[in-house]
Every structure is written in structure tokens, then in C-alpha cells.
Structure 1
Amino acid sequence: MRAEVGPMTRNIHITSEVAEAQTNGGHIKFLYGFKSVQVENVELTNLGNPLITGRYPLHYHMCENLAEKMIYTGDSYLRKNSIHHSQFRCITIHGTHNSQIQNNICYNTVGHGLFIEDGGEKHTLFDGNLALGQIPWTGPITHPVTGTLPSDRKPVTFWITNPLTKMKNNVAAGGETGLFVDNKLLANQTVRNVYNELNPRMTQTDPNSERVPMVFDRTTGNLAHHVK
């Protein structure tokens, strides 16, 4: 018998005190203008809140281009972290280009796991991540008041919305769906008129943006198994 194995504990542990049957976990959000973000070898538990928009364990939020060295003078990455027993999601990329998500473990989390939010996020790197056991959300959905989407009732481990995404050596196991490429609608379904099924836009919130074929920038060595 073969199984996926990964270390769950870390010396640095960030958690929330969440009452039984409650979902009000804490969250870590990175906003535009920092010098660098380097989260490495950290254990995160009980984070995220599905009842409030934008509350995830690790969240790049509208940071624009992390490769712009006039703003982001140091390297930024989220790597070798263990995110488990999350109240909502694992890692979310929103309005941010060139993010590096490497060698993380995402286990037993509610809703979609590693999540590209709107579709305009370019050159995201997912490399060597192990994600498994994503759990369906069963509570209320009143988006955008809540962070949950109708699709969170059948969660996807890797939710990809931009063709310029690098997927290398990742594993998805034991959830509803390992990988989903949304080339028609944004995850939150707010700008659906921008999309074309075969030729999405480079910047998918801009109807005048250049069209690109719906393919990944680089996809190799990925594996999905024991998904429904």
C-alpha cells in the first residue's frame, strides 16, 4: 500500500481559539506595499472564516505584481508550511501576480483548498504542494456577504482561473475534485461577460485585454488520486 506522507507539526504554530460548532477563525492577509513576505515552516490551524468575505489562513490580497522590485524589494514566498483543520480554505491568491506557493501541506480544510480567486492573477507558481481532504461547506451562502461560493459545496483542491499558472509536482488526494480549471466564469461569477470558453483574456476582468489560449504556462509532474 502506498500513501501520501507529510509532516504536520512545526516549531512555529499559529492558531485560533474557536468555540465548538463555530467558524470564526483568524486569518493572515498580505496587502499591497509590503517589502517582502516570507512565511516558511509554520503550522497554521483553526484559521479562516467562511461567514465573512476574505478570511483565509494565508491570503495575498490585491498586491498587484510581486515581481515589481520598486515596490517589493525582497523575495516573497509561502513555502514548507502546514495548514490543517482550517475553518475555510488553505491559501488564496487574489489580485496578485507572480506569487510562489511551494512545498506546503493543506489538510482537512473546508471549501476549496489552494484558490486563485478572480482569474486575472498571472504567473502563480504551485510547486510541490500536498493537498488532501478538502471538506464540503454545508452552511449558508450569501456571497459576497459570506466568503463561501456555491462551488464550495463540492470543493476543489486546486482551483485555477488563469491560464498563465505554473503547476509542478503537486498532489491532490482524498477530496471532491483534485484540479478544476475555470475558463468560463470567475470563481465569484461577477464578470462572466468577459470570458470566452476557448480564448480567455490575459487580464480576465478587462474585456479589451489580449486573448490567450486556455493552457497552463507549465504543467508537469502533478498527481490526483482518491478523489470523488
Structure 2
Amino acid sequence: GKYCLHWHLLGPCRACEMVGNAIEHGHQRGIVIHGTHATKVEANVLYDIRGSGIYIEDGNEMGNMVLHNVVICPWGREGEMRSCTVPATDNAEADTSLNHAGLWSLPSA
């Protein structure tokens, strides 16, 4: 799949936790919170994720705790990034080799 770890339309979910994971070489997003509330995403390490490391999809997800995570995008001292771009967004300007996001979210509606 495109997402390594994904909560999809679970509503309130206080028992939902993603804690202490190592995620590498993801193809579009690392961790996705979509239509899910009151979760915990803590102490995860994400490396070389193509797209956002942590992606909060709609902007109406409430009460989620996103704590002490690390998103690493490898980039040499010279040249363009080989990955970590933000493909497939609704912003045509976002899919460039110089644009990446550790944490991405829409503003709340």
C-alpha cells in the first residue's frame, strides 16, 4: 500500500497507539491519521519516506497526540534529493525535489 501505518475513519479511538516503530523507504506517506481522533503517535522514527512522514489527512482530526517522533530525509551535500518529495497532493507546486514535509496537515475546517 501507499501508507506504512494508517488509521482510516475510526472516529474516537483512545486505544489507538502507534508507539516505537521504525519505518523506512515508504512509497507515499509514513503514518496517516484520517478521520480518527484521540490517538497517540509517539517515539517513531521514519527514514526515507517518499512524501510526508506524518500526514493528518482532513484537518478535522481532533485530540491526537503526536509526540517525540523523528522524520529523516537523506540528502547529500550536493545535488537534488533522491526522494522525500511530496507526490500526489492537491497542490501542483508541491511535487518538486526540494519540497518535503515531516508533518503535514490541512487547517481545520
TM-score (ref. length: structure 2):
0.77
What residue number does 1:135 align with? 84
Pairwise CA distance, 1:105: 0.4
Alignment of 1:55-70 (within 5 A): 56-67=3-14
* Partner of residue 101 from structure 2, selected from 147, 156, 163: 156
Distance in 2 of aligned mates of 1:93 and 1:129: 14
What residue number does 1:84 align with? 24
Identity %: 27
* Partner of residue 114 from structure 1, selected from 54, 61, 64: 54
State the aligned residue count.
95
**Larger relative CO (CA 8 A, sep 6+): 1 or 2?**
2
Task: Give the gaps of 5 or more residues in structure 1.
Answer: 1-26, 28-47, 49-55, 68-74, 139-147, 162-182, 184-199, 205-228
Alignment of 1:182-197 (within 5 A): 183=107
Instruction: Give the structure with higher Rg (CA).
Output: 1
Alignment of 1:1-228 (within 5 A): 27=1, 48=2, 56-67=3-14, 75-133=15-73, 135-137=84-86, 148-149=88-89, 150=91, 151-153=94-96, 154-161=99-106, 183=107, 204=109
CA pair 106-66 structure 1, distance change in 2 beyond 3 A: same
Distance in 2 of aligned mates of 1:82 and 1:65: 25
Contact 2:86/2:101 (<8 A) preserved: no
Distance in 1 of aligned mates of 2:86 and 2:31: 16
Pairwise CA distance, 1:57: 0.6
Distance in 2 of aligned mates of 1:79 and 1:95: 19
Contact 1:111/1:152 (<8 A) preserved: no
Distance in 2 of aligned mates of 1:99 and 1:152: 29
Task: Give the gaps of 5 or more residues in structure 2.
Answer: 74-82
Distance in 2 of aligned mates of 1:89 and 1:160: 12
Considering only aligned residues, what root-mean-square deviation do their CA atoms show, in Å?
1.8
Distance in 2 of aligned mates of 1:95 and 1:152: 25
Contact 2:17/2:40 (<8 A) preserved: yes
